[in-house]
Structure 1
Amino acid sequence: MARTPRPAVGYALTLAAAGFFAVNGTVSTLALQAGISAPRLTALRCTGAAVVLLAVLLAVAPDRLRVSRREIPMLAVLGVVGIALTQFLYYVAIGRLPVGIALIFEFTAPVLIALYVWLVRRERVRRRVWAALGLSLAGLVLVAEVWTGGGTLHPVGVLAGFAAAAALATYYLIGERATVSRDPVTLTCWAFVAAAVFWAVAAPWWLFDAGTLARTVPISVGSVEVPLWVLVAWIAVMGAVVPFWLSISALRHLPPTAAGLVATAEPVFASVVAWLWVEQVLSGWQILGGAVVLAGIVLAQTARSAPAVPPVPESPAPLGS
Structure 2
Amino acid sequence: MRGNPVLWNSALTALAPVVWGSTYVVTTELLPPDRPLLAAMLRALPAGLVLLAIGRVLPRGMWWWRALVLGVLNIGAFFYFLFVAADRLPGGVAALVLSMQPMVVLVLAAVLLKNGIKPVQVAACALGVLGVGLLVLRAQAALDTFGVIAGLLGAVSMAAGIVFTKRWGRPEGVGLLTFTGWQLTVGGLVLLPVMSTVEGLPDHLTGKNITGFLYLGVIGALVAYAIWFRGIERLPALAVSFLGFASPLAATVLGYLFLEQALSAWQAIGAVAVIAAVVMAQPRHREQAPAPTPEAKEPIHHHQLS
TM-score by length of 2: 0.71
> Offset of 1:120 from its aligned partner?
6.3
Give the aligned partner of residue 167 of structure 1.
Answer: 157
Q: Percent identity?
A: 23
Aligned counterpart for 2:36 among listed residues 22, 35, 38: 38
Give the aligned partner of residue 221 of structure 1.
Answer: none
Deviations 1:139-163 (A, max 9, x none): 45545769x5xx3255466554433
> Offset of 1:79 from its aligned partner?
1.2
Contact 2:245 2:274 in 1 (8 A): no
Amino acid at match of 1:231: G
Deviations 1:153-188 (A, max 9, x none): 554665544332211101101111221535543222
Aligned counterpart for 2:177 among listed residues 167, 181, 185: 185
d(CA) in 1 for partners of 2:288 and 2:97?
Answer: 23
Deviations 1:238-288 (A, max 9, x none): 221123345567789xx4259846665443222111222223445433443
d(CA) in 1 for partners of 2:288 and 2:83?
Answer: 29
Aligned positions of 1:124-163 closer than 5 A: 124-139=116-131, 142=134, 151-153=140-142, 155=144, 159-163=149-153
> Offset of 1:195 from its aligned partner?
1.2
Give the aligned partner of residue 237 of structure 1.
Answer: 218
Aligned counterpart for 1:71 among listed residues 60, 63, 68: 63
Q: 1:251 to 1:86 in 2, by over 3 A?
A: closer
Q: 1:234 to 1:75 in 2, by over 3 A?
A: same
d(CA) in 2 for partners of 1:279 and 1:89?
Answer: 29
Amino acid at match of 2:141: T
Aligned positions of 1:178-257 closer than 5 A: 178-182=168-172, 183=174, 184-204=176-196, 208-209=200-201, 211-214=203-206, 226-247=207-228, 255-257=234-236
Q: 1:130 to 1:14 in 2, by over 3 A?
A: closer
d(CA) in 2 for partners of 1:115 and 1:297?
Answer: 18
Amino acid at match of 1:152: A
Q: Which moved more, 1:76-85 or 1:107-116?
A: 107-116
Q: 1:264 to 1:140 in 2, by over 3 A?
A: closer
Amino acid at match of 1:242: V
SS of match in other structure, 1:237 = helix
CA RMSD of aligned residues (A): 4.0
Q: Count residues with an aligned counterpart.
A: 279
Give the aligned partner of residue 249 of structure 2.
Answer: 268
Give the aligned partner of residue 166 of structure 2.
Answer: 176
SS of match in other structure, 1:115 = helix
Give the aligned partner of residue 258 of structure 2.
Answer: 277
Deviations 1:265-313 (A, max 9, x none): 443222111222223445433443454345345444559xx789xxxxx
Contact 2:165 2:232 in 1 (8 A): no
Q: 1:28 to 1:52 in 2, by over 3 A?
A: farther
Segments of 5+ residues of structure 2 without an aligned counterpart are 290-306
TM-score by length of 1: 0.68
d(CA) in 1 for partners of 2:81 and 2:209?
Answer: 21
Deviations 1:46-103 (A, max 9, x none): 112212222332xxxx3xx2312322222212112221121233334455544x8755
Contact 2:10 2:282 in 1 (8 A): no
